[in-house]
Structure 1
Amino acid sequence: MSKFVEVFGAEPDGVWRAPGRVNLIGEHTDYNDGLVLPIALPNQITITGSARTDGVVVVATAGQDGIISFDLDSLSPGSVGDWAAYPAGAAWVLREAQYEIGGANLLVESDLPSGAGLSSSAALLCATAVALLGLRDISVDPAEVARLAQRAENQYVGAPVGLMDQMASMCCTAGHALYFDIRAMSTDQIPFDPAADGLALLVVDVKAPHRHVDGEYAARRQSCEQAAAELGVPALRSIAFEDLDDALSRLSDDVVRRRVRHVVTEIRRVEEAVALMRAGRLRDVGPLFTASHASLRDDFEITVPELDVAVDTALAAGALGARMTGGGFGGCIIALVESSEAPAILTAIEKAFAENTFPTPTSLDATPSPGASRIS
């Protein structure tokens, strides 16, 4: 007997999925109208669903989170809390956008590690949205679903997130990275298939607890906005790389200068990475990863010892490049490595963590995968 039948007592009408993601490069440029380059992971949130006729959504998980139900007509921001705020937020935003969704039974399953910075919240919002739409045979452009999912997280859940995670979850394709220009709201699929070149992209969860995240994120955003105001530009994206030194000389605060330097140089690294990928020179992207990590560590100051040790160890063990990925203060690193060297590099990281009495890290496959879709 399937888990869905066990919980809801009937066969489902369909199954939908939405993946997590990692950002190859472009970290913390998203609220500066920047450029980002994520891939979707094979790890995903899967929702098995059936339609109801009473306007009630019942959400269950395959884990221990219990069963939550809510009436579509009574949804408002804050009316459903905890983990269920995400499926409730997806239902709320679809109704606000005038999509004629109805009640549903939804079973949520996931193989995305929580707390690893792999965008499980965006995946849950997107998976719920595509399931609720799919149950009513409503077709919506993937980018529009991404924008709705962002709105749900901003306005219903109350998290001031950007659009990268949702766009990656909805719009990525297999064997490609998603080149997302946030200012232009344009995307391009950039060939990125490490395995075809004898390479692997390792994602290592360092198991570090996120420390003072909310205040730190807000402080960095405030610094970037302060710098833009002082320089008279709408966002730091408006500062050309060639004009960076001049812009830095006009700022009096050293911390603000370092934040600006990270954003402007990170945008430049995205452009360079895209050019290398288009030319089929994937190995040459590695040093850009490493330069990105140094900038995130020294200028943006969002790494922690576990992330730095993992990156330094991977590089010493032969990685072509490595960097933290995600919001920082914990989470994961990514490392571009020769496929044949991946096991030895992982072993070296595990050994280094043991020597530093850090928690045992875990790794997962980072094959560039497709975005959200119906499975059956």
Structure 2
Amino acid sequence: MMHTCDSLLSVICSGACDAILSDLYALDKSKTSLEAGKKRASHIVQAFQTTFQPESSPAALFSSPGRTEIGGNHTDHQHGHVLCGSVDMDMLCCAAPNGTNIVHIYSEGYRPFQVDLSHLEPVKGEEGSSAALTRGVAAGIDALGHPVGGFDAYISSNVLSGSGLSSSAAYEVLIGNILNHFCCMDALDAIQIAKIGQYAENTFFGKPCGLMDQMGSSVGGTVALDFSVPSSPAVHKVNYDFTRSGHVLCIVDTGSCHADLTEDYAKITEEMGNIAAHFGKQVLREVSEADFRAAIPSLRVRCGDRAVLRSLHFYNDDRIAIQEAQALEQNDFPRFLALVNASGLSSSLHLQNTWSISDPKHQAIPLALAIGRELLNGSGAIRVHGGGFAGTIQAFVPLEKLEPFKSGMEKLLGAGKCHVVHIRSVGGCVVAQ
């Protein structure tokens, strides 16, 4: 059944959506979180009504989560393994078809814009914008033979920008789900929507990203990915309920900026690629670890010690990502925590992506890791989060230590810098229709 905005509000207020809203936002099992989720959903529907003043168009509510990298730091671009998860910070949107070719987007905190879907080619000067992503997702769906049409959308996001939770992937998955629902009769699955999002980001937005971010947002839950075939990674959903672990996942914003770090990121790919090239290969996944280790003396001379260390990290963390998924499926959370710590140590010592050599005075991530490790005092786990060099760290904190950990981190970095997030089981979805 399709709802108008008024009936959509009634559905939310009546409690008919409580089950899915609990899956999205009440992962701490509290009534307070559920009520906050219902209030936010109602606000977005009401704001949509005020902004677009629809008459009787069928409206729907959509959610698209941010994602967190759990294991496999800088392994995807070498065709390795990654473990990631969708989180309860999301983009929540009320949308309705408008019977035209024009998409109207109103996102809280940003200037509204529109995209004409009668033109589905990249537009010069549009690169790097949400408009480019919108056009790219529509083009990807159109290329699969599905008609696309205009819609009006009001979006509210609490996916932290620059947090490593990948707000761009969440946006792509959101637009993919809206068009899938209104234009494709929900024919596309989560993996197809993720691939369309990557296509939009690569071809229209202008960022040569892998597929991990979109998969983590679209599929939902904890997902093990094998990038042996990057265009079509193997996807395995890991069945584990983090709410039963006795730990809380914290994403800590160190206050450091990713700007001007392009060369740092590029050097990781370049140096790993140089090691692979020694063996006549493109990526390290194609080189056996035994052959790599046997050649380390000559690789030090040809490629340098840092390239060797970074490649050593690839083999270590590629293996760790697999083992983390296995530990969760075997309900062995202590082993999982040990593996997260081992991954973090490898990133710090081998990958060397916790601070930039171009600015050695600023080392916010190593400092936050050091203080965080003291606060955990041998419990939980802590590591750099995402691409590194600046940005965020990730910690699995025992429930009994959450308050001192959070206050200690915010004493160091500032109020509001430690964010408690939960792994949610649902990816991009229609919340109510």
For the criterion TM > 0.5, the same-fold answer is: yes
Look up the match of 1:261. 312
Residues in 2 aligned to 1:298 and 1:243: alpha-carbon distance in whole angstroms: 22
Residues in 2 aligned to 1:258 and 1:5: alpha-carbon distance in whole angstroms: 56
Look up the match of 2:89. 43
- The answer to whether residue 418 in structure 2 is matched with residue 362 in structure 1 is yes
Look up the match of 1:4. 48
- The answer to whether residue 104 in structure 2 is matched with residue 58 in structure 1 is yes
Gaps of 5+ in 2: 1-44, 356-362
Residues in 1 aligned to 2:383 and 2:145: alpha-carbon distance in whole angstroms: 42
Residues in 1 aligned to 2:412 and 2:111: alpha-carbon distance in whole angstroms: 38
Alignment of 1:139-150 (within 5 A): 139-150=187-198
- The answer to whether residue 336 in structure 2 is matched with residue 285 in structure 1 is yes
Contact in 2 for aligned 1:248/1:261 (Cα 8 Å): no
* Greater CA drift, 99-108 or 288-297: 288-297
Residue 241 of structure 1, CA deviation: 4.2
Residue 195 of structure 1, CA deviation: 2.6
* Greater CA drift, 248-257 or 143-152: 248-257
Q: SS where residue 256 of structure 1 aligns?
A: helix
Look up the match of 2:373. 315
**1:224–1:78: structure 2 CA closer, same or farther, 3 Å change rule?**
farther
Look up the match of 1:196. 244
Contact in 1 for aligned 2:255/2:413 (Cα 8 Å): no
Q: 2:123 aligns with which of 78, 86, 95?
A: 78
Q: 2:408 aligns with which of 342, 348, 355?
A: 348
- The answer to whether residue 83 in structure 2 is matched with residue 25 in structure 1 is no
- Sequence identity of aligned pairs in percent? 25
Q: 2:215 aligns with which of 167, 171, 185?
A: 167
* Greater CA drift, 23-32 or 254-263: 254-263
Residue 200 of structure 1, CA deviation: 1.8
Q: Deviations over 1:23-64 (max 9, x none)?
A: 11101111111100001001111222111222111111122x
Contact in 1 for aligned 2:249/2:420 (Cα 8 Å): no
Q: Deviations over 1:296-332 (max 9, x none)?
A: 2232222132222222222212242110111112222
Residues in 2 aligned to 1:347 and 1:14: alpha-carbon distance in whole angstroms: 39
Contact in 2 for aligned 1:47/1:128 (Cα 8 Å): no
Contact in 2 for aligned 1:248/1:257 (Cα 8 Å): yes
Q: SS where residue 21 of structure 1 aligns?
A: strand
Letter of the aligned partner of 2:403 in structure 1?
P
Residues in 2 aligned to 1:119 and 1:301: alpha-carbon distance in whole angstroms: 22
Q: 2:182 aligns with which of 135, 151, 161?
A: 135
Q: SS where residue 299 of structure 1 aligns?
A: helix
Q: 1:16 aligns with which of 62, 86, 91?
A: 62
Q: 2:427 aligns with which of 356, 365, 371?
A: 371
Question: Normalised by the size of structure 1, how large is the TM-score?
Answer: 0.91
Residues in 1 aligned to 2:417 and 2:186: alpha-carbon distance in whole angstroms: 42
* Greater CA drift, 80-89 or 20-29: 80-89
Letter of the aligned partner of 2:136 in structure 1?
G
* Greater CA drift, 333-342 or 311-320: 311-320
* Greater CA drift, 362-371 or 43-52: 362-371
Contact in 1 for aligned 2:115/2:134 (Cα 8 Å): no
Look up the match of 2:326. 275
Q: SS where residue 281 of structure 2 aligns?
A: coil
Q: 2:253 aligns with which of 197, 202, 205?
A: 205
- The answer to whether residue 236 in structure 2 is matched with residue 180 in structure 1 is no
Residues in 2 aligned to 1:130 and 1:98: alpha-carbon distance in whole angstroms: 16
Residue 360 of structure 1, CA deviation: 6.1
Residues in 2 aligned to 1:86 and 1:243: alpha-carbon distance in whole angstroms: 42
Contact in 1 for aligned 2:71/2:320 (Cα 8 Å): yes
Residue 127 of structure 1, CA deviation: 0.4
* Greater CA drift, 142-151 or 65-74: 65-74
Residue 243 of structure 1, CA deviation: 4.6
Contact in 1 for aligned 2:105/2:153 (Cα 8 Å): yes
Alignment of 1:233-244 (within 5 A): 233-244=281-292
Residues in 2 aligned to 1:337 and 1:218: alpha-carbon distance in whole angstroms: 32
Residues in 2 aligned to 1:158 and 1:221: alpha-carbon distance in whole angstroms: 18
Larger Rg, first or second structure (1 or 2): 2
Q: SS where residue 351 of structure 2 aligns?
A: coil
Residues in 1 aligned to 2:421 and 2:306: alpha-carbon distance in whole angstroms: 36
Letter of the aligned partner of 2:115 in structure 1?
F
**1:7–1:360: structure 2 CA closer, same or farther, 3 Å change rule?**
closer
- The answer to whether residue 278 in structure 2 is matched with residue 230 in structure 1 is yes
Contact in 1 for aligned 2:276/2:287 (Cα 8 Å): no
**1:54–1:271: structure 2 CA closer, same or farther, 3 Å change rule?**
closer
* Greater CA drift, 114-123 or 241-250: 241-250
Q: 2:135 aligns with which of 73, 82, 88?
A: 88
Residue 164 of structure 1, CA deviation: 0.5
**1:104–1:230: structure 2 CA closer, same or farther, 3 Å change rule?**
same
Residue 216 of structure 1, CA deviation: 1.9
Contact in 2 for aligned 1:239/1:264 (Cα 8 Å): no
**1:102–1:156: structure 2 CA closer, same or farther, 3 Å change rule?**
same
Residues in 1 aligned to 2:206 and 2:165: alpha-carbon distance in whole angstroms: 19
Across the aligned residues of Structure 1 and Structure 2, the Cα RMSD in angstroms comes to: 2.0
Q: Deviations over 1:228-286 (max 9, x none)?
A: 11122342123444554214334122222122111111101112212222221112222
Contact in 1 for aligned 2:279/2:287 (Cα 8 Å): no
- The answer to whether residue 331 in structure 2 is matched with residue 331 in structure 1 is no
Look up the match of 2:29. none
* Greater CA drift, 145-154 or 226-235: 226-235
Contact in 2 for aligned 1:150/1:162 (Cα 8 Å): yes
Letter of the aligned partner of 2:117 in structure 1?
L
